[in-house]
Structure 1
Amino acid sequence: MAEAAFPSQHTTTTVTTSTTVQTNLRYDPLYLRTVPGILKLCQVILNILGFICIEASGVHSSASRGSFFIFVATTAFWFTGILLVFYLFHVIEKFFKIPWLKIEGIFCATWVLLYLIASCLAATYAVEGFRVAAFFGFCAMVAYGYDAFLKYHGVRQGELAQGERAINKQITTITSPAY
């Protein structure tokens, strides 16, 4: 009959996390060269272009779909523009305890849905300006969708919105001597 014995080895895993942030405000134009920076800049531009197309059509006040598109575009413009300024001046890094990635991810996912609705409504209206605005709206929808995808993966991996978080994993294996 075989006896139950201690295992011949024991493994211990230690996970340490260190967060490195600078809490001083500073201007960093290099943010505009990162993927999130380029996305935010494109989103701001697409929001402005869609807004201008609806306004230039001249019939936006008589069509509720134009008013809805303007609401979606201007709200997205201001929210994204303010976030862009926050990232450029490292305000996000100063307040790193706020779950910025979750907030942005929820906003981006919501605006994907709102831009889908607004762009479909604008595309089916018989005014050329609305159709061009719908094109910019669909482009903005794709940009916000990709941004939401990046934010989702960032949250899943435990990343910070700005700053650095290093996760070190140390695995120790202890082997007991053979008797």
Structure 2
Amino acid sequence: MADQGFPDQHTTTTVTSSNTTVQTNIRYDPLYVRTIPGMLKVAQIVLNLLGFICITVSYGAITSRGSWFNTVAMGGFWFTGILLALYLFHVIEKFYRIPWLKIEFVFCTIWTFFYLLAASLAAANGRYDEAFGAAAFFGFVAMVAYGYDAFLKFNAVRSGALAQGERVVTKSSSTVTSPAY
């Protein structure tokens, strides 16, 4: 008697459906700042501002190291601040087709490396100017915050999540067994 093999014995059908639920109206949602991404953005904004202030009041603010640190701090401050405003007013959800998580992942990754460089340069100047030492501290903490945010965004992109809104994925599997001959 010949073995009928797998294709003759079973038929398997798998159906996967995805449903994206978003509200396209613009509304203010103060609860966003209580989420982990919201708290990270607020912390990043504060750290950017503190580092900028430390360098600005120092004697070496006009040096290339001070200018680079201030460029990194203000770039992060404005980009993160604008993103926070877009999330608070659900503009991100309105334009859900834009790959916001990928944009944020790339930005946070770049800013992690920028802060590594800027804070290291400021720390090297810290023995001459205490304000540079304080700025280096805030820069390294900001580097960790941006790095953790990049990690969260990477995981969200891998899982197929939306930046705001909901995506419900349902997977159903059915197996039909045909009679053996």
The one-letter amino acid of 1:120's match is: S
Find the aligned partners of 1:149 and 1:15 in 2 and give their Cα distance.
28
Match of 1:144 in 2: 146
Paired residue type of 1:97: R
Query: Structure 2 matches for 1:126-137, cutoff 5 A?
Result: 126-137=128-139
Give, as a single letter, the amino acid of the residue that structure 2 aligns with 1:93. E
> In structure 1, what is the equivalent of residue 35 of structure 2?
34
The structural deviation recorded for 1:76 is 0.3
TM-score, normalised with respect to structure 1: 0.96
Report % sequence identity: 61
User: In the aligned structure 1, how far is the partner of 2:153 from the partner of 2:141?
Assistant: 18
What is the CA–CA distance in structure 2 between the aligned matches of 1:133 and 1:41, rounded to whole Å?
18
Distance across 2 between alignment mates of 1:12 and 1:131: 63
1:1-179 to 2 correspondence within 5 Å? Answer: 2-5=2-5, 6-61=7-62, 63-125=63-125, 126-178=128-180
- In structure 1, stretches of 5+ residues that fail to align are none
Deviations 1:151-174 (A, max 9, x none): 011111111000001111111111
TM superposition score normalised by structure 2: 0.95
2:43 partner amino acid: C
For structure 2, the residue ranges without an aligned partner over 5 or more in a row are: none
CA drift of 1:3 comes to 4.2
| Distance in 2, Cα, partners of 1:166 & 1:3 | 42
Give the aligned CA root-mean-square deviation in angstroms: 1.2
Which ranges of 4 or more aligned residues in structure 1 deviate by more than 4 Å? Answer: none
**Can you list the C-alpha shifts for 1:49-99, whole angstroms capped at 9, x where unaligned?**
0001001113211x1100000000000000000000000000000000000
Q: Does the CA contact (< 8 Å) of 2:119 and 2:139 recur in 1? A: yes
Distance in structure 1 (CA, Å) of the matches to 2:118 and 2:166:
37
| Mapped partners of 1:157, 1:34: distance in 2 | 19
Name the aligned partner's letter for residue 165 of structure 1.
R
Contact 2:76 2:111 in 1 (8 A): yes
State the distance in 1 between where 2:3 and 2:75 align.
71
CA distance in 1, matches of 2:76, 2:172: 43
Equivalences, count = 178
* Cα contact 2:59–2:129 (8 A) shared by 1: no
